[in-house]
Structure 1
Amino acid sequence: MKSYRDLIVWQKSMDLAVDVHPVALGFPKAELFGLTSQINRCATSVPSNIAEGHGRRTTGDYIHFLSISRGSLNELETQLTLAMRHGYISEAVHDRLLELTSEVGRLLNGLMDSLERRLSSP
């Protein structure tokens, strides 16, 4: 793999961040420095940590950054659910975005599993 940009997980997580941004901007202005900002930060963190990990020198470091990315993805799911419960997004929007987070999560898990197998094989 020449670049992190070639990774489907990075591409899908970029798509997710782009899809989440306008949704978060639709929240009430009172949430600008709260939920809106937090959702955008963690959505951006997912592909950013994939890219950063890819640039590290060791496989262990790469896995560590993918783990951070997965944590940010879980944080995003939680915040999207909070946004729905507050009535800032519809259940349909929530479910659509959670489908995307699930897809990214599966891809992240697959990449992490592959890298961990590489670490454990002679």
Structure 2
Amino acid sequence: MKSCKGLNIYKEAHGLANEVHRLSLLLPKFELYEEGSQIRHSSKAVSKAIVEGYGRRKHKGKFIRYLTFSQSECDETMEHLDLLYETRSFTDKDLYDKLKEKYIGLSKQINKFIEWVNKNWNNFPSDEINQ
């Protein structure tokens, strides 16, 4: 794989960041620049950390470090979703439930990928490590 864009976790994170971005622009004006900005930042940081880690994949520790950053940004995004929903700044329960479920799933996928990288580091295709 020559690009992180082939990773399922990247595809999911990137798609969710687009969904959250669009959702955030519908928030009440007083939230648009506060919590809206925070959730846009954290949701986009999930895929950005995957990209940055993949770029450092020749170094196992750095790769895992950025994947861990990605997972923590995923968890932060869930916290922002919860706060927006609980404060009634975001009231679409169906969309909230859908996004929350997707972020929980993504967090689990990232965790599994971290575990896989940790266990299978020596089994990466040689062109992946020695580029």
Q: CA RMSD in A?
A: 1.5
Contact 2:31 2:89 in 1 (8 A): no
In structure 2, C-alpha distance between the alignment counterparts of 1:65 and 1:2, rounded to whole Å = 18
- The equivalent residue for 1:26 is 26
AA aligned to 1:82 is L
Runs of 4+ in structure 1 displaced over 3 angstroms?
A: none
Aligned residues: 121
Corresponding position: 1:86 with 2:87: yes
Corresponding position: 1:62 with 2:57: no
Q: Give the TM-score of the pair, scaled to structure 1.
A: 0.92
Q: How far is the alpha carbon of 1:66 from its aligned partner?
A: 0.6
Q: Deviations over 1:37-91 (max 9, x none)?
A: 0000000000000010000130110100010011101100000000001112222
- The equivalent residue for 1:114 is 116
Q: How far is the alpha carbon of 1:119 from its aligned partner?
A: 4.8
The gaps in structure 1 that reach 5 residues or longer are none
Q: Give the TM-score of the pair, scaled to structure 2.
A: 0.86
The gaps in structure 2 that reach 5 residues or longer are 124-131
Q: What is the identity percentage for the equivalent residue pairs of Structure 1 and Structure 2? A: 27
Larger radius of gyration: 2
